[in-house]
Structure 1
Amino acid sequence: MKKIIVFSLLAMSFLLFVGCEVTTESDDSATLIVDSAPMGAAIFLDGSSTGVVTPATLEIDSGTHQLRLELAGYEDYNETFTVEDDGVYTVLALMDLAINSTLNVTTSPAGASIYIDGAYTGYTSPAVIQGITLGYHYIRIYYPGYNEVTYYVLIQENVPFNIIEVLNYPVPPYPVFDITYP
């Protein structure tokens, strides 16, 4: 009888042990913190709108994702990132003004070098330079042997800015005479 009881207890213990599923809780979520300058950009994750704007904190699945931020008047911000389980990924997007305006430069004589904000553009006059960011810019026009010309201009959305300039020879310095009196 003892053998039957011991055997029954062992069999029940075995069945209980085998019948129990051992599960570990797998939390495959992560946190995404998104901010932008300027604020208020719409957040898209993996091609779908999240319905929120920056700044925001979102609970997302771990793994690789594609983030896109959209704000009127600014270029879209895109980033691909990977975040681990229970991880936190932070994005601070510095959004660039939209590129959608044109600068037209005509000079006499032609062939003057055109600089924008101190950097040579690779263009010489006459030139149509597309893709100028909105906002204020320093424009410098230089032709060897002539006075250079500078402008501080406001490039506005969908409004071409035209510069027409007749370049002047530099004024020669007045001759200096050494006059001595006896």
Structure 2
Amino acid sequence: PGFDPAARPPAPPPAAAPPTAVEPEVTGGGSRLPLLLGGIALVLVAALVGVGWILLKQGGGAAAAGTGVLIVGGSPTGAKVVVNGTPAGELPYVDSSALVGSYEVRVEADGYEPYTQRVVVAPGETAKVTVALKPAAKATAKVLVVSEPLDAKVLLDGEVVKEGGPAPWQASDVEAGKEHEIVVQKPGYRDARFVWTPEPGEEKTFTARLAPALVRLRVESEPAGATVYLDGAKRGRTPLDLEQVDATKQHRLEIDGGRCYERWSSTLIFDERAERTVRATLERSPACATRGDRAPGKKRSSGTAPAPRPKRRGKGKLMLNMRGAWANVWIDGKDTGKQTPLINYELPAGTHRIELKLPDGRSTQLTVEIQPNETVKKTVPAP
């Protein structure tokens, strides 16, 4: 078959022409860009002026006008200087490049009332603050001192504040927060001392019951007739009264019942009582094995010595107490680890030496006889 020209496809339609660019129309005065930039500049200038004004009102801020000098002087030297709430230094204080503005200056020191002043630093000028801090009022406390007897002398921190007389001493201006010593004195009596550190506004009462400096000492023993030694000096035989013993000192009291009794001793510490009685029960010595040995100060009776006592067997119990105090209990020279009151303490039948030792060093001794299956009860006064 041949080519048929009528069978060709139709030709495509002609392409549309591209749009033509249209130039914008400019009317009356040209571009708007310069106007826009000028407006932005005006806004920035106004903002900077506003910020500067705010900083100037608050004080201490930078200002376009420059700096000045701030001087703070006065007393006491070394006082703390605080500027606008920030520690800046000590007196005397100089800031040679203080920014222009308003400042609050505060000066403070321990023991003084603080001082505050507001000052303005102008460009190129010097602002001065001169202070003289006033001592702060001290916190105080009140005190009342009563003595027995009444007519005693009172000293506060070594200075006499009351010479005597029946009225108690009182003060309302004792410095608080400081340690004070109060001493009460009277001839013939021992001093009374108090140490006190008062709190602000505290009210305190001290009662001084003065103890006599010289006391009467009575010494008794069982059996009687024993020799009494005071501080190593022989003073007589029991019962014995010793007058004007110096109560301001400790004394060593010893009682010797002879070869048939153990030597008794104690350290005496006196209290406020004007009289003191010491009673000692002497313990028989192992050197005297019979009942026929004489008591202290007595002669042996004529005749044949009695037969030795038979040794007892079994165990008994001891109940022991000290009136007015407590003490550690030693039995036959050994520490029992017990304190008074001692209750139902089991011991072998026979004679036992008891020593009661007080915490302050005083002691007293006694002898007890324990019977088989029996309980011995003893109460002794404090030495």
Q: Distance in 2 between matches of 1:74 and 1:94?
A: 10
Q: TM-score, normalised by structure 2?
A: 0.27
Of 124, 130, 138, 2:255 maps to: 124
Contact 1:114/1:122, CA 8 A, preserved across alignment: no
Over 3 Å counting, the alpha-carbon distance change for 1:167 and 1:95 in structure 2 is farther
Question: C-alpha deviations, 1:5-43, integer Å up to 9, x for none?
Answer: xx89x9899685467999896332221111112212100
Q: SS of 1:27's equivalent?
A: coil
Match of 2:274 among 121, 135, 140: 135
Match of 1:86 among 176, 186, 201: 201
Unpaired stretches in structure 2, ≥5 consecutive residues: 1-55, 60-100, 106-116, 120-128, 229-236, 242-251, 258-264, 285-295, 301-383
Distance 1:115 1:80 in 2: 39
The alpha-carbon distance between structure 1 residues 138 and 104, as it changes in their structure 2 partners (threshold 3 A), is: closer
Amino acid at match of 1:56: W
Pairs aligned (count): 141
- Of the candidates 69, 72, 88, which is equivalent to residue 187 of structure 2? 72
Report what 1:57 is aligned to: 170
Q: For the residues of structure 2 that align with 1:27 and 1:14, how far apart are their CA atoms?
A: 27
- In structure 1, the gaps of 5 or more residues are 1-6, 146-164, 170-182
- In the TM superposition, what whole-angstrom CA distance separates every residue of 1:74-128 from its partner, at most 9, and x where no partner exists? 10011211002222222111211114777799x7454889899xxxx7521489x
TM-score, scaled to structure 1:
0.51
2:213 to 84, 98, 101: 98
C-alpha distance in structure 2 between counterparts of 1:72 and 1:89, whole Å: 26
**CA, structure 1 residues 102+113, in 2 after alignment: closer, same or farther (shift >3 Å)?**
closer
1:1-182 matched pairs, under 5 angstroms:
17=118, 26-53=137-164, 55-58=168-171, 59-62=173-176, 63-99=178-214, 108-110=225-227, 123-125=254-256, 135-140=274-279, 142-143=281-282, 166=297
Change (3 A) 1:122 1:101: closer
Classify 1:51/1:135 alpha carbon distance in 2 versus 1 (closer, same or farther; 3 Å): closer
Contact 2:141 2:201 in 1 (8 A): yes
Give the whole-Å Cα distance in 2 for the aligned partners of 1:28 and 1:102. Answer: 49
Q: Find the aligned partners of 1:41 and 1:104 in 2 and give their Cα distance.
A: 32
How many Å separate the matches in 2 of 1:65 and 1:74?
Answer: 22
> Quick check: 2:253–2:268 contact (8 Å CA) kept in 1?
no
Q: Taking every aligned residue pair, what percent have the same amino acid on both sides?
A: 15
Which has the bigger relative contact order, CA under 8 A and spacing at least 6? 1
Larger strand proportion of the pair: 1
Q: Distance in 2 between matches of 1:135 and 1:65?
A: 30
Residue pair 2:215, 2:276 contacting (<8 A) in 1 also: no
Contact kept? 2:144, 2:206, Cα under 8 Å: yes
Quick one: distance in 1 between partners of 2:298 and 2:273?
A: 27
